[in-house]
């Protein structure tokens, strides 16, 4: 959807927020946890409505939504899950859009461990490499695509420790249970710089574009806060937050 389609009705709704404050339950892909929390705070300040954020893997959220979980908005880590929900009649037609394009990074908490070209993967002089489960996590799938394109599957797979989602994968590296790991750039960047350690931003040519889509679920169809939250993601304030965590828009 185009931004213009949202702004006029969005601004009109904001001017009428004398309506009783409401809440929206938002399922958020693990890689987007930090920006989602900031957006939720800004959303409450600007609209008076509250966004209740739940963090997890996109694959698990899909299963939970199929089984009746009461989430009202989904911010997925891919563009396939929202399409499936739409096709299966579990989401509101016409509300699906890409809210961010994610970037994959190879990261170590130790300075100097990861070089700027990712040659550490070819040297393989480390014990463990953390990767999110590619069956559930789009960033895990992207990591496997990069490894395959580099021709390093046989060399690296015996060293892999699998994270249930990208948050657990990050924790493996942050706790140094794994020397290095493929995580989302948003997890390790602050003000345009890697917060600590060393990192290689994986070239986008090595993996499929990580288009992250949002959608209004049927359970949120008649919820003012859910409708407003979807629209708020298009606001300048929300987009500045998204961009500040290394996402493309």
- pLDDT value, residue 9: 53
- pLDDT value, residue 27: 98
Q: Which residues pair with 222 in a beta bridge?
A: none
Checking if the pLDDT of 240 tops 90, the result is yes
Of the candidates 84, 86, 166, the residue with the CA atom closest to the CA atom of residue 130: 166
Looking at the fold, whether 80 and 7 belong to one and the same domain comes out as yes
Of the candidates 150, 159, 161, 151, the residue with the CA atom closest to the CA atom of residue 126: 159
Q: Which tens digits make up the pLDDT trace of 186-205? A: 999 977 789 899 999 999 99
Looking at the fold, whether 117 and 194 belong to one and the same domain comes out as yes
Looking at the fold, whether 124 and 45 belong to one and the same domain comes out as no
Of the candidates 55, 93, 88, the residue with the CA atom closest to the CA atom of residue 74: 55
Does residue 55 lie in a domain region? yes
Looking at the fold, whether 185 and 109 belong to one and the same domain comes out as yes
- Total domains in the fold of the chain: 2
Section 3-27 average pLDDT: 63
10 or 205, higher pLDDT: 205
Tell me the CATH number at 131.
3.40.190.10
Section 98-105 average pLDDT: 97
Q: Which tens digits make up the pLDDT trace of 55-88? A: 988 889 999 999 999 999 999 999 999 999 999 9
- pLDDT value, residue 222: 93
Does residue 249 lie in a domain region? no
Looking at the fold, whether 95 and 108 belong to one and the same domain comes out as no
Looking at the fold, whether 218 and 97 belong to one and the same domain comes out as yes
Q: What is the mean pLDDT of the chain?
A: 92
Q: Which tens digits make up the pLDDT trace of 122-163? A: 999 999 999 999 988 889 999 999 999 999 999 999 999 999
Does residue 61 lie in a domain region? yes
Does residue 234 lie in a domain region? yes
Burial 93-129 (b: 16+ CB within 10 A, else e): eebbbebbebbbbbbbbeeebbeeebebbeeeebeeb
Does residue 20 lie in a domain region? yes
Does residue 85 lie in a domain region? yes
Looking at the fold, whether 71 and 87 belong to one and the same domain comes out as yes
Looking at the fold, whether 168 and 234 belong to one and the same domain comes out as no
What secondary structure, in 3-state letters, does the chain show?
A: CCHHHHHHHHHHHHHCCCCCCCEEEEEEEHHHHHHHHHHHHHHHHHHCCEEEEEEECHHHHHHHHHCCCCCCEEECCCCHHHHHHHHCCCECCCCCEEEEEECEEEEECCCCCCCCCCCHHHHCCCCCEEEECCCCCHHHHHHHHHHHHCCCHHHHHHHEEEECCHHHHHHHHHCCCCCEEEEEHHHCEECCEECCCEEEECCHHHCCCEEEEEEEEHHHCCCHHHHHHHHHCCCHHHHHHHHHCCCEC
Domain extent at residue 190: 104-201
Checking if the pLDDT of 15 tops 80, the result is no
């Amino acid at each position: 959807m185009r931004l213009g389609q949202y702004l006029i009705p969005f601004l009109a709704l904001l001017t009428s927020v004398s309506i009783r404050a409401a809440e929206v339950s938002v399922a958020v892909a693990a890689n987007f946890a930090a920006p989602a929390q900031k957006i939720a705070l800004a959303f409450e300040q600007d609209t008076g409505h509250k966004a209740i954020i739940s963090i997890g893997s996109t694959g698990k959220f899909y299963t939970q939504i199929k089984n009746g979980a009461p989430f009202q908005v989904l911010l997925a880590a891919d563009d396939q899950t929202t399409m499936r929900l739409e096709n299966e009649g579990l989401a509101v037609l016409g509300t699906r859009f890409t809210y961010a394009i994610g970037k994959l990074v190879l990261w170590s908490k130790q300075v100097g461990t990861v070089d700027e070209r990712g040659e550490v993967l070819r040297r393989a002089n480390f014990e463990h490499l953390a990767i999110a489960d590619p069956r559930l996590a789009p960033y895990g799938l992207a990591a496997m695509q990069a490894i395959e394109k580099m021709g390093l599957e046989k060399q690296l797979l015996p060293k892999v420790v699998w994270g249930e989602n990208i948050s657990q994968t990050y924790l493996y590296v942050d706790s140094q249970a794994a020397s290095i790991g493929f995580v989302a750039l948003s997890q390790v960047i602050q003000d345009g710089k890697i917060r600590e350690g060393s990192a290689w931003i994986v070239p986008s040519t090595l993996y499929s574009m990580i288009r992250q889509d949002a959608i209004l679920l049927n359970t949120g169809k008649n919820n003012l806060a859910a409708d407003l939250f979807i629209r708020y993601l298009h606001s300048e304030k929300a987009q500045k937050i998204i961009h500040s965590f290394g996402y493309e828009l």
